[in-house]
Chains A and B, each alone.
Chain A
Amino acid sequence: MSELLKTFIQESLELLDVAETCVLELEKECLDHFTKDLNPENQELVNKFFRAIHTIKGNSGLFELENIKNLSHNFENLLTKVRDNEIPLKRDLVDISLLAIDRIREMIQNIDKIQDYNIKDLVENINKLLNVDNQSEKNHTEKNNHNNIDLESLYNKFIKKYQDKIKQYKEKLPIQHKLFYVLSFLEKNQLLSEFVNNIDRIKENNDISLINFNFILPSFNDRLYFYLFLSTEEDFSLPFPILLKKQIVLEEEPREEVLTNQKENIKSSTNIANPNEEESFLKVPASLVEYLINLAGESVIARNEFNQKIELLAKDNHELINSSKRISNYITLLQENLMKLRLQELNVLFERIPRLVRELSKETNKEVELEIEGGNIELDKTLIDVIRDPLTHLIRNAIDHGIEPPDMREKLGKPKKGRLTIKAFFQGGNVIIKVSDDGKGIDTNKVLEKAIEKNLISKVKAQELTKKEIINLIFLPGLSTAEKITERSGRGVGLDVVMSSLRKIKGFVDVQTEVNQGTTFVLTIPQTLSIVTCLIIEILNQKFAIQQNQIFEIIKINPEFLSELHGGLVYELREKIIPIIDPQNILKPKEKVSISQYNYIVFLETDQHIFGLLVNEILNPEELMIKPLGEEFHEIQYYSGASILGDGTTILIFDILGLVKSFHLESNKKDLGFDIESTTTQKTIQDQYLIFELIGNYYGISISYKPRIIEILNTQIEQLLDYYAFKYNHSIVPIIDVNELLLKKANLEFFNKKSNYGILLPASEHEYISLLATDIINITNEFESFKKEEKASFIFGYAIYKDKTIMLLDWEKVLSFWNDKKLIAGIR
């Protein structure tokens, strides 16, 4: 298959997606008042739709794909009528549009067998709709003829006008290519395809043979740029990439001239798109991207090793240290941006959902209202490919089995229209996709019955299962509770595939269901961007890594709060009981050590769990490139991979979901109230306060703001404008020095310590601000006394704790001061 044809296929498929989105959008907008003329917004949608089909028609003409050309030609005629308000936008029109889009897509995907496709039925149907108004059809044909006549002269005009330019380009290009270019800008209208159709005639008249040409669409919204590549016969096949490189864009002035005769036909609505905002795109093979990403990953490892050696060797050689730091930064930037190459928005998946839902609800005679959120969340392309099928499957399930028919819903007192919600968001380093319906829910008795009937579980064992375990049976292969097998779902294949697909990418599926209330499937997808910021910890003299965004909190163990409960360990964290994992259960050392050996607890979080891991030491955070462990380790779920540290040693990275599964932890986050966003910000002394020290002054901040304590090394701190900041999870976190803010005593004494604490507080949905602390004292509400302060702006009171006066911070005031602060560039 030629490069050009490949490009055509890919481009056309993209255009069909655009067309489909337009149809579905139009259906929503117009059905209720189809007698009226289209409003400008819909007009733009129709135009966009039209342009997509039109381009496909033009392109297919080039490859002599008669079937596609004919179908899209008729289709286009139909759309012209819609655009000119001659045919109202009705359901039958939407139906036939979708059918036509599908047929074209099918033909393009099976381009080798294109002759086998019959398009007569569709063409007839389209013409039926068209014949509603014969008179205008005639007018239209005349218009077309008019165009044909014009073309030749138009082309000649073109050549004449650009003779100089063409010559100029010819000289610039390598001689072996003997290429010259003619470029023409043609507005979105019939001109383009007619031009192409008449190209033979033009060729004869101009003594040039046409070899190769290609379209580039900078933006679907805007006009088409038509690049015509002409060449003499001997240099035949010019590879596509060269063509791309050699694009020459002329100034915009010819557009006016060439198109004056067409202008009346074009409505002003095209002005919406702004050509200046276009970003240019390049198509690059995925394997090259993959290679570059791996290279960048390796250079991060090499850099870590290099830095460690430089630090030892360079000592006082600041120049050497500086240049190594600069290289270091560039490598980080390079690596971070390379990773972005592979990211795609979830919209790639979500755009297809409205169509799927429409089809399914039609087939099942159910009414479904669809809500989609979070399409802008970005995920690695490989992961998107894996979750495509599972997501489709869950949607099918929800409509087929979940949502009841309208009459039954009315009987149950539910709204007639069923509701399907698809929501994506970030949490704890994972991307969560929730698919929920408000249908009939999963009947546990039925699941159990089926499972026993199909011998998937014994009767005796069945009695011991909890509700959750019964629901999880639906993920077994071969289980379906649907009474009838339908074309769509119910054959018992599917949910097990959903589960296994997610397992493959170290993800997880969870179900929450309530009879007659609905079912929610929660897909947890780890963002395995292969370089992640990890915290290095030490357990029993071995180093391990934990992804920083999975850490909820780190505390120093207070033995009073750590206790044994039914064989397991628990810790009382701010009056909440949290399960604790003793790593000896993972590492199985020959000699058991007492738990008093551990100094810290790292609290980890998933979508639904919070638990703690006992550790001996907290070391520094580091950027690690995750490498997979060999096949032989698949049985072990504790680790998500391994990495190489600066000193060349290997380190294992804990897999938080794997730990949850291995230790059979129950979901507890919701019950503990940790997943509720801080709604209560009442500043009463009943709140628990986090008490911290900053060079001799003591402050308290209410834990209702969910402060998180992390360690900041001095080397991580940098000055930006007139404030300090450090990098955390690839974002810049400003550091607020409360001494400076409250007491106006800015000093850099904290730099004397190797590391300090940062108290991370959410500033907005995705951003953090950090308060600087030299020491963390405690979390408490047991104050000896309390005094209100109304004159100060950033604190609301004083409290005394263990003979120290604590200033209780009014975080909202501090935050709004920060947000309003005008930054000035720092002066040296």
Chain B
Amino acid sequence: MQVILFKLEDKVYGLELQYCKEIDELKHLTPIQYTSENYKNYIEGITNLRGDIITVINLKKLFDLKNTSYQQNIFILLKVKKGKVGILIDQIVDIVNLENYHIDYSKGHIESKLIPYIKFTVILNHKPILILNPESF
């Protein structure tokens, strides 16, 4: 199994490569505000990618990071069951093959509100890295 590692601020997260279709530049964004305060507030808005309307997700809002803006306007386009979503990122780190690494499916160390969004944890160079579950975005 391969994962793509990316940075939000200085934190590293991962996504299984099978979900990732491409990395694109965010040319513009049409923001959409939510009616209720907490319901999926990490959804930033929509954008046009070659004629398709893509939902854009700001994970910094989901993970309650202090600064929710980005260094550059790039996003990873994911293909999930319900359609296509784009997640904004600061930087791509690496693509890693996980064959020889330990995969931990326990969720005890994860904040309860984030549990649905985390698929598993993997230890890379003695650092635990959260691999996300894009189906629940």
Contacts and interface: CB of A to CB of B under 8 A. Distances in A.
Interface of A: 298, 301-302, 542, 586-588, 627, 629-633, 635-639, 642, 644, 648-652, 662
B31 interface: yes
Interface of B: 27-28, 30-36, 39-40, 43, 46-48, 51, 53, 55, 82-83, 85, 137
Contact of A587 (B28, B33, B39, B83): B33
A633 B35 CA distance: 10
Given A629-B46, A631-B82, A652 B28 contact: no
Shortest 5 CB-CB contacts between residues of A and residues of B? A650-B30, A649-B28, A630-B55, A588-B33, A644-B48
B30 A642 contact: yes
A629 B53 contact: yes
B46 A650 contact: yes
B48 A632 contact: no
Given A642-B53, A650-B53, A633 B32 contact: yes
27 contacts: A301-B51, A542-B31, A586-B33, A587-B31, A588-B33, A627-B53, A629-B53, A630-B82, A630-B83, A632-B55, A633-B43, A635-B34, A635-B39, A635-B40, A637-B35, A639-B32, A642-B53, A644-B51, A648-B28, A648-B48, A649-B27, A649-B28, A649-B48, A650-B30, A650-B46, A650-B48, A652-B30
B53 A632 contact: no
Contacts of B31: 542, 587
Nearest to A639: B32
A642 B46 contact: yes
Contacts of A587: 31, 33
A650 B27 CA distance: 11
Nearest to B45: A650
Contacts of A648: 27-28, 48
Given A631-B82, A648-B28, 14 more contacts: A542-B31, A586-B33, A587-B33, A629-B53, A630-B82, A632-B137, A635-B34, A636-B34, A637-B35, A649-B28, A649-B30, A650-B47, A650-B53, A652-B32
A644 B55 CA distance: 14
A662 B28 contact: no
A645 to B, nearest CB: 9
B99 to A, nearest CB: 34
B19 to A, nearest CB: 16
Name the residue in B46, B85, B137 with the highest tally of chain A Cβ atoms < 10 Å from its Cβ.
B46
B40 A632 contact: yes
A302 B53 CA distance: 14
A333 B73 CA distance: 39
B35 A636 contact: yes
Contacts of B27: 648-649
Contacts of A639: 32
B36 A635 contact: yes
A633 B46 CA distance: 10
Nearest to A651: B30
Nearest to A628: B53
A542 B46 CA distance: 13
Contacts of A652: 30, 32, 46
Contacts of B82: 630-632
A30 to B, nearest CB: 58
Contacts of A650: 28, 30, 46-48, 53
A639 B34 CA distance: 12
**Of residues B31, B35, B36, B40, which shows the largest number of chain A Cβ atoms within 10 Å of its Cβ?**
B35
A631 B55 CA distance: 10
A636 B32 contact: yes
Contacts of B32: 629, 633, 636, 639, 652
Q: A587, A649, A651 — which one has the most chain B CB atoms within 10 A of its CB?
A: A649
Given A298-B51, A629-B53, A635 B35 contact: yes
B35 A662 contact: yes
A761 B63 CA distance: 56
A761 to B, nearest CB: 36
A739 to B, nearest CB: 43
Contacts of A301: 51
Contact of A632 (B30, B35, B43, B51): B43
B44 to A, nearest CB: 11
A630 B83 CA distance: 8
B131 to A, nearest CB: 21
A631 B82 CA distance: 7
A749 B123 CA distance: 76
A637 B36 CA distance: 12
A662 to B, nearest CB: 7
Contacts of B47: 650
A7 B83 CA distance: 36
A632 B28 CA distance: 20
Which of B31, B34, B53 has most chain A Cβ within 10 Å?
Answer: B53
A528 to B, nearest CB: 16
A589 to B, nearest CB: 9
Contacts of B39: 635
Nearest to B28: A649
A604 B43 CA distance: 29
Nearest to B137: A632
A652 B47 CA distance: 11
A299 B55 CA distance: 22
Contacts of A298: 51
Contacts of B55: 629-630, 632-633
A251 to B, nearest CB: 51
A416 B78 CA distance: 65
Contacts of A633: 32, 43, 55
A637 B51 CA distance: 23
A649 B30 CA distance: 8
Contacts of A642: 30, 46, 53
A61 B51 CA distance: 53
A588 B34 CA distance: 9
Contacts of B46: 629, 642, 650, 652
Contacts of A627: 53
A302 to B, nearest CB: 8
Q: Which of A301, A302, A627, A662 has the most CB of B within 10 A?
A: A627
B69 to A, nearest CB: 13
A301 to B, nearest CB: 6
A75 B2 CA distance: 71
A760 B124 CA distance: 69
A297 B34 CA distance: 29
Contacts of B51: 298, 301-302, 644
Contacts of B48: 644, 648-650
B41 to A, nearest CB: 11
Contacts of A651: 30
B82 to A, nearest CB: 5
A586 B32 CA distance: 9
B53 to A, nearest CB: 5
Contacts of A636: 32, 34-35
A652 B55 CA distance: 13
A627 B85 CA distance: 15
Which of A301, A542, A588, A632 lies at the interface centre, i.e. has the most chain B CB atoms within 10 A of its CB?
Answer: A632
Contacts of A662: 35
Contacts of B34: 635-636
Contact of A644 (B33, B36, B40, B53): B53
Contacts of B83: 630-631
Contacts of B40: 632, 635
Report which residue of A586, A631, A638, A644 has the largest number of chain B beta carbons within 10 angstroms of its beta carbon: A644
A58 to B, nearest CB: 50
Contacts of B36: 635
A648 B52 CA distance: 11
A553 B111 CA distance: 52
A623 to B, nearest CB: 15
Contacts of B137: 632
B40 to A, nearest CB: 6
A694 to B, nearest CB: 39
Contacts of A630: 53, 55, 82-83, 85
A168 B41 CA distance: 74
